[in-house]
């Protein structure tokens, strides 16, 4: 998408409305717009393949109109022309003389079914509105008006065809799901080799209308991201005509994330996971990370590169249906963050951290390490739902990825994300519905259904925290003995963490009991030699500072313990913390 955005874009899954180029105020604006014609045309083509009966009835209607000679549309005109003309007549008729014209009355059922299917088709699309440099409040007002306009047109046409529907109104979301404010005026300081990126529109604000449900083509992620020895942004021919940029704060780093608008849901979902950087934060400085997601190159590459000359980590993903999964967006950004952190002497942690305050007086800082599906986030979430008066507060520092640094001889932990990307099946029953007003749901009808939800503020995750307890999430041991086991032998503990054994939960293509180096294939695995040295250093520091290490049996991968396992692990963790207060 060039800097001069088209009025309307329509794909199999997305509709993108440029409110600066085409904004409908009155119903007549809507019915006569090219955008409306394109939606009708697309839907008719869809009906042709999935509902031959309705399609044939529409053809019969067209033939009937030609026989009556009440339309100027000729027999050679596309069916969409006839249908749009009929809808226009229905609306005008509804405004003056209610009831469908008697000459079309015998087709009222066909027309009603088509209007219903058209409305359903429109609502099944992921619908986005884009504007440039506009005030957020006025943009939200324009989205509200657009919503009311769509509903008003739908209702008036529906009631003209079937008057018995009058008086019954379902306030369904019919406008846009997401509003995006962009700018082309950013003074981004990029090295000359990346100067071509300056023309891509940058997102400055996003408004989400819940519940937001998206349907990416994939529901799992494959493999790891290899490190390239060549810069993909200089060794490949890049076309960014249909891209937007989401400037993200990934931990301490600034990332410019460029994504193809066909993968709009993947790009917009970043808003619930990484804080949006302001223009003041990205102007007049080089970014730390750059990620290009969705390049048409005929390949299926997902790789990263370290630009040592400019001190920028580069991520790259081809345009391919197999990468249409949020894991490819999130995990690549974390890989870039982690490698940059390793280069700075930090140890990236694939885990979750919480600050747990007990009895209003003592706060304990807990880190639980584990690869995807180990039960780290689920255990902390279960702790939230335990009704125990000893727990005064639980604050999530990071939900999936963090990093520890040595500062003045002490270990300090930092988060990378403000949100969580978790499996719906692994949450407490009903929790997702409690969070429906700000959650993004991904393929809720499929296995490994996910939810992206904010859990912390950016200021909270980068404050820097001490560590009191460092645990490995064991999701495969079925025994209920020693659910939380402290390991005094630091070398033995380190070996458990490095091996990274877990029962695969279907979040990737792995099956059965698998291992992953330090449970973190997002940087540490690719930089194993560097990470080995960091592991030795930080485990020695933990021993010196009496930071307890151990193993927590979540049993999330054991059949029958999807919910009970994390809950019992949470109870054992709480009991240990309470006992530590008494000792």
Residue range 415-472, pLDDT digits in tens = 999 998 888 876 666 666 677 788 999 999 888 899 999 988 999 999 999 999 999 9
What number is the average pLDDT over the span 50-64?
Answer: 92
CA distance 465 to 470: 13
**Which range among 208-212, 221-225, 235-239, 310-314 shows the weakest confidence by mean pLDDT?**
235-239
Longest pairwise C-alpha distance within the chain: 93
Neighbours of 445 (CB within 10 A): 8
Q: What is the pLDDT of residues 251-263, one digit of tens each?
A: 999 999 999 999 9
Indicate the number of domains in the chain: 3
Of 324, 464, 342, the residue nearest 13 (C-alpha): 324
Of 117, 141, 118, the residue nearest 129 (C-alpha): 141
Query: Same domain, yes or no, for 253 and 330?
Result: yes
Q: How confident is the model at residue 309 (pLDDT cuts 50, 70, 90)?
A: very high
* Whole-Å CA distances, 327 to 11, 310, 373, 562: 22, 27, 13, 21
pLDDT score of 243 more than 70: yes
Q: How confident is the model at residue 545 (pLDDT cuts 50, 70, 90)?
A: very high
Residue 190 falls inside a structural domain: no
Which CATH number goes with the domain that contains 411?
3.90.228.20
Of 408, 409, 404, the residue nearest 531 (C-alpha): 404
More confident residue, 155 or 459: 459
Question: Angle at the Cα of 430 (from 427 to 436), degrees rounded to 5?
Answer: 95
- Token reading at 478: 């079925």
Query: Same domain, yes or no, for 338 and 361?
Result: no
Which of 343, 371, 386 finishes a domain? 343
Query: Same domain, yes or no, for 66 and 207?
Result: no
- Backbone phi, psi, residue 417, to 5°: -125, 155
Q: Is 420 helix (H, G, I), strand (E, B) or coil?
A: strand
CA distance 436 to 45: 34
**Contact of 368 with 473, CB cutoff 8 Å:** yes
DSSP secondary structure code for residue 122 in this structure:
H
- Token reading at 379: 């255990």
DSSP E strand boundaries for 431-518 = 440-442, 450-454, 469-474, 484-486, 501-503, 513-515
Cα-Cα end-to-end distance for the chain:
63
Query: Same domain, yes or no, for 139 and 283?
Result: no
What number is the average pLDDT over the span 378-404?
Answer: 88
What number is the average pLDDT over the span 548-561?
Answer: 95
Q: What is the pLDDT of residues 506-515, one digit of tens each?
A: 666 678 899 9
Neighbours of 364 (CB within 10 A): 18
DSSP secondary structure code for residue 38 in this structure:
H
Residue 230 falls inside a structural domain: yes
CA distance 507 to 377: 14
Residue 209 falls inside a structural domain: yes
At 280, which helix (H) or strand (E)? helix 279-282
Query: Same domain, yes or no, for 253 and 308?
Result: yes
Residue 43 falls inside a structural domain: yes
Q: Is the peptide bond before 364 cis (omega within 30 degrees of 0)?
A: no
Residue 429 falls inside a structural domain: no
pLDDT for 347 equals 98
| Residues whose CB falls within 8 Å of the CB of residue 49, separated by 6 or more in sequence, listed in order | none
Please state the separation of Cα 480 from the chain's center in Å.
36
Question: Angle at the Cα of 433 (from 432 to 438), degrees rounded to 5?
Answer: 80
Of 583, 570, 562, the residue nearest 391 (C-alpha): 570
Q: Is 403 helix (H, G, I), strand (E, B) or coil?
A: strand
Which of 178, 211, 241 finishes a domain? 178
Of 135, 193, 196, the residue nearest 2 (C-alpha): 196
Q: What is the pLDDT of residues 95-130, one digit of tens each?
A: 555 555 666 778 889 999 999 999 999 999 999 999
Residue 191 falls inside a structural domain: no
Please state the separation of Cα 246 from the chain's center in Å.
12
| Residues whose CB falls within 8 Å of the CB of residue 42, separated by 6 or more in sequence, listed in order | 10, 121
What pTM, to 2 d.p., does this model score?
0.92
| Residues whose CB falls within 8 Å of the CB of residue 472, separated by 6 or more in sequence, listed in order | 368, 369, 370, 493, 496, 497, 519, 549, 550, 551, 552
Query: Same domain, yes or no, for 335 and 353?
Result: no
Range of the domain at 564: 347-418+455-582
pLDDT score of 165 more than 90: no
Which of 309, 325, 343 finishes a domain? 343
pLDDT for 435 equals 76
Query: Same domain, yes or no, for 468 and 578?
Result: yes
DSSP secondary structure code for residue 113 in this structure:
H
Query: Same domain, yes or no, for 139 and 247?
Result: no
* Whole-Å CA distances, 169 to 118, 154, 158, 159: 18, 11, 11, 11
Which residues share a beta bridge with 341?
Answer: none
Residue 96 falls inside a structural domain: yes
CA distance 116 to 1: 32
Query: Same domain, yes or no, for 333 and 357?
Result: no
Residues 211-242: b if buried by 16+ CB within 10 A, e if exposed: bbbbbbebbebeebbeeeeebbbeeeebebeb
Query: Same domain, yes or no, for 369 and 248?
Result: no
Please state the separation of Cα 226 from the chain's center in Å.
23
- Token reading at 120: 């359903």
Query: Same domain, yes or no, for 28 and 142?
Result: yes
Residue 541 falls inside a structural domain: yes
pLDDT for 1 equals 40
Query: Same domain, yes or no, for 369 and 323?
Result: no
pLDDT for 63 equals 87
CA distance 460 to 293: 28
């Amino acid at each position: 998408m060039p800097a001069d955005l088209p009025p309307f874009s329509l794909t199999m899954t997305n509709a993108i409305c440029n409110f600066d180029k085409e904004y409908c105020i009155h119903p007549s604006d809507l019915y006569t717009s090219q955008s409306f014609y394109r939606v009708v045309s697309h839907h008719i083509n869809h009906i042709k393949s999935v509902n031959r009966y309705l399609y044939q009835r529409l053809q019969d209607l067209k033939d009937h109109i030609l026989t009556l000679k009440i339309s100027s549309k000729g027999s050679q005109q596309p069916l969409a022309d006839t249908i749009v003309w009929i809808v226009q007549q229905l609306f005008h008729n509804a405004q003056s003389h209610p009831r469908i014209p008697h000459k079309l009355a015998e087709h009222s059922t066909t027309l009603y079914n088509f209007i219903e299917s058209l409305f359903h088709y429109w609502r099944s699309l992921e619908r986005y509105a884009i504007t440039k440099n506009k005030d957020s409040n006025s943009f939200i007002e324009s989205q509200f008006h657009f919503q009311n306009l769509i509903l008003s047109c739908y209702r008036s046409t529906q009631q003209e065809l079937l008057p018995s529907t009058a008086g019954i109104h379902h306030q369904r979301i019919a406008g846009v799901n997401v509003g995006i404010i962009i700018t082309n005026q950013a003074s981004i300081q990029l090295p000359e080799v990346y100067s071509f990126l300056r023309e891509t529109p940058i997102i400055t604000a996003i408004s989400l209308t819940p519940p937001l449900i998206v349907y990416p083509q994939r529901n799992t992620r494959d493999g790891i991201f290899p490190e390239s020895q060549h810069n993909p942004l200089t060794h490949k021919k890049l076309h960014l005509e249909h891209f937007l940029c989401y400037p993200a704060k990934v931990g301490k780093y600034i990332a410019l994330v460029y994504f193809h608008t066909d993968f709009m849901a993947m790009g917009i979902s970043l808003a619930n996971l990484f804080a949006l950087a302001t223009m003041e934060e990205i102007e007049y400085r080089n970014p730390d990370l750059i990620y290009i997601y969705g390049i048409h190159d005929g390949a299926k590459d997902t790789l990263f590169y370290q630009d040592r000359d400019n001190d920028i980590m580069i991520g790259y993903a081809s345009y391919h249906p197999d990468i249409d999964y949020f894991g490819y967006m999130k995990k690549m950004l974390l890989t870039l963050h982690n490698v940059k952190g390793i280069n700075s002497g930090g140890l990236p942690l694939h885990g979750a951290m919480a600050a747990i305050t007990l009895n209003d007086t003592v706060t304990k800082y807990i880190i639980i390490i584990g690869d995807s599906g180990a039960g780290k986030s689920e255990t902390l979430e279960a702790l939230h739902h335990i009704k125990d008066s000893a727990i005064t507060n639980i604050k999530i520092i990071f939900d999936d990825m963090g990093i520890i640094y040595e500062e003045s001889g002490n270990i300090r932990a930092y988060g990378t994300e403000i949100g969580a990307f978790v499996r719906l099946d692994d949450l407490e029953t009903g929790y997702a519905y409690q969070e429906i007003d700000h959650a993004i749901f991904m393929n809720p009808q499929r296995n490994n259904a996910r939810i992206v939800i904010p859990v912390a503020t950016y200021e909270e995750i980068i404050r820097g925290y001490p560590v009191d307890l460092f645990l490995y999430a064991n999701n495969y041991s079925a025994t209920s003995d020693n659910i939380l086991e402290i390991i005094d032998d630091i070398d033995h503990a380190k070996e458990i963490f490095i091996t990274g054994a877990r029962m695969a939960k279907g979040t990737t293509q792995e099956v059965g009991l698998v291992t992953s180096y330090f449970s973190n294939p997002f940087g540490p695995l690719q930089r194993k030699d560097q990470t080995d040295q960091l592991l030795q250093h930080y485990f020695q520091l933990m021993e010196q500072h009496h930071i307890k290490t151990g193993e927590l049996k979540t049993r999330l991968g054991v059949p029958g313990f999807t919910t009970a396992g994390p809950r019992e692990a949470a109870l054992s963790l709480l009991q240990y913390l309470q006992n530590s207060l008494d000792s």
